[in-house]
Structure 1
Amino acid sequence: MIKTAICDDIPQMADAVEELLIQYNQKLFEASVFYYPQNLIRHMKKTEFDLFILDIEFPNTTGIDLAEVIRKNNLNVPIIFLTNYREYMEDVFKVQTFDYIIKPVTKENFFPVLDRVLRYLDVGEERFIFSYNKKSYSLKLNELVYFEKNRRQVIIHTLNEVYVSNMSTTTILSELNDCFVQVHTSFIVNVKYIKEIGNNFLILKKDNNNSIEVPISRKYKETARDKILMKLRDIV
């Protein structure tokens, strides 16, 4: 998930920005709201944020001063400023500002900026987001080869790595698109990687050197085959 820090001394404004993030994509952003810059600075010592959304006007300081502190630790993290005034426009870009939004913040002026943030952070593609051992992961769907259930755990096989999580099959399927088909109580496959369909099995191929055989159970055989063939026609 994209760990996002929102800092505005007006609670209603900060909460409104958080609500807009939820409307944009609830599963993509993990927002932390701060009403005082000092609280955010303290929190930065234990949390690494992927995005900052900052008001400019604070009592006794400015969002630009806060951005300078952020830049001492991270030169590349995107910073979005929110303000009622255009007079700060020249100053904000001295701290490598990603963008500058004149209040009120609305879907119309905020969502296009978030689109650009996703492209900048390279998370524009569809993602499978999950947590394990208090860590969050975001994987590109097109790099997921198959899921293997092992009791309460699920083993997630990608092109290059293997991950483990605790998720139900229903939850997994709800996070995937129609390129993924359940072929067995314990297996969900990405149709993109199917190279051979046997009577009771599939061959998945990651690359020229690695193939995996996955069973097709009687319960899912007919519906899985129909879905796979239909999707393969779309891909081809």
Structure 2
Amino acid sequence: MRIAICDDDISFTSKLEDIISRECANNGKKTEIDVFFDGETLVKSFESGHRYSMIFLDIEMKKMNGITAARRIRQLDRYTLIIYISSYDDYLKELFEVEPFRFVSKPIQLEQLQRYCAEAIKKIEGMNNLFVYSYNKEEYSVPIKEIVYFESNKRLVDIHMNDGTVRSFYGKLNNLEKEIQKINKHFIRIHQSFLVNYSYIKSMTYSEVVLECKDEEYVLRISEDRRSTVRQKVCEIAGGSQS
């Protein structure tokens, strides 16, 4: 498992590297950890073809901050897990578009970091989980990570994929919501007709969610009776209380 650490505090990165290496070993994972001291160097590594399962990324760095770096990285890699190490309250709006996995505040709480490492490993292991469905007596499967959102369409449920294709099967969104939560808790019911993948949320207003995939945007309405629940769910996922 390849992991990147990016923080301009050299002594801090050394301590963090030791903790992450130990926690990954405790979870049965061999690791290769690369350390970067500014966002620009990290981005250049991605541009040269390097990829990482997860990145521990500081937000406030003097030379290309973590927000800018993550935006560039997301253009090259949609699936690497980004764990921010900073206070994120002032950045929540900007962070939607770079899809962070977790936030760790400084000074680091060891138990929290241990839990997040374990959750990240579990997430990476499950990223290739498949969603299986039937249509016209044939069985099909698609990677859950490639599903942008589900849409109820009369008796059909349409699966909007990240390559722009749409697949369909007979079913009810209420039943699907219960089923998908057993596999992946990062799907959010925003409307009677829409069940969206948190990983593709670019931004959110009080009444709408904007999903983005490969330069395409999908603007979906949040039903009035779900607005409070949707915001709570988004905050829970971003804050790490969902696995």
Higher fraction of helix: 2
TM-score, normalised to structure 2, is 0.47
Determine which structure has the larger strand proportion and give its number. Answer: 1
Superposition TM-score, scaled by structure 1 size: 0.48
